[in-house]
Amino acid sequence: MKVCGFSFVRNGVKFDYPFVEAIRSILPLCDEVFIAVGASEDTTLETVRAIDPRVTVIETKWDESLRQGGQVFASETNKAFQAIPLHYDWAFYIQGDEVVHEQYIPAIRKAMEETLDDDKVDGLLFNFLHFFGSYDYIGAKYSWYRREIRIVRNRKDIYSFRDAQGFRQGDNQKLTVKLVDASIYHYGWVRQPRAMLDKIRSSTTLYRGSLTDEEKADTSVQYEYENAMEPVVPFTGTHPALMKERIQQKNWPFTPNPLLKYASTKDKVKRLIAKWTGWFPGEYKNYKRLRS
């Protein structure tokens, strides 16, 4: 079984992405990793090149015309995916703010081995934990996506979809996937407050084309996590070992808003329904899941 990883990044240092940890977290499962590195204003390119000899860099220039709905993220993802040689069986996708915990490596490898010859399986589905404000809390809103595809077959009819959250094949067809007993740790909303604000402003232009007049006039110098009206719950597990140094360097305070300690009543009802029935009302599923 041959496995190749892939990802994309631009200005990863400037925006405080844990992209080094992200790439390193999938290396135990990959023979090679292809990274599309967009022209950056920092040392991202040099940093990626220094990660590991198995990492191949593809230097890219982002298409500035793709400024609606985050389309450029899918475009960059596809550049990395299309570069993967055909002799690889599986392609493991990781975004620059996602990290795989080492405790899940055996389960992920086993899932790839068990489904390698199953033509019904186009990819593998992962659970997600979305950290917010601090490494000690995870987002409690029902709107956080619960699962997403992160391993796909190395077939070139598969492509990144919309803003690169998931994948499609052929003529906009959903992939058929199996769930892996593993979680992706998403740290996109835990970074230095100044870098967080800069990243949000940059991403906004890639989703809407430009900032509003009000956003342009905003004189904030850093992101205020406490004002984000985001309900969170304590995280009681362990973090990937690769994140140890980054977590130790965390130097900003975060105290959850006590009025937002719990999710809304609407979210609570939805979660109760899910607990009782196994059905998550209104959940967007970017895939077709195989149950057996």
- What is the spatial distance between Cα 26 and Cα 21, in angstroms, rounded to a whole number? 9
Strands 232-234 and 134-139: antiparallel
* Whole-number pLDDT of residue 40: 97
Written out in words, the top-level CATH class of the domain with range 3-119+149-175 is alpha beta
* Whole-number pLDDT of residue 57: 99
* Whole-number pLDDT of residue 142: 78
Whole-model pTM? 0.91
What tokens does 112 get? 């790839």
Q: Are 235 and 131 in contact (CB under 8 A)?
A: yes
- What is the spatial distance between Cα 157 and Cα 153, in angstroms, rounded to a whole number? 10
* Whole-number pLDDT of residue 220: 72
Query: How far apart, in Å, are the Cα atoms of 95 and each of 28, 157, 182, 219?
Result: 16, 21, 16, 30
* Whole-number pLDDT of residue 228: 78
Location of structure tokens 């609606």 = 68
Mean pLDDT in order along the chain per 10 residues (292 residues): 98 97 99 98 98 98 83 96 98 98 99 98 98 94 90 98 91 97 98 91 75 64 82 95 96 78 59 55 79 76
What tokens does 89 get? 């069986």
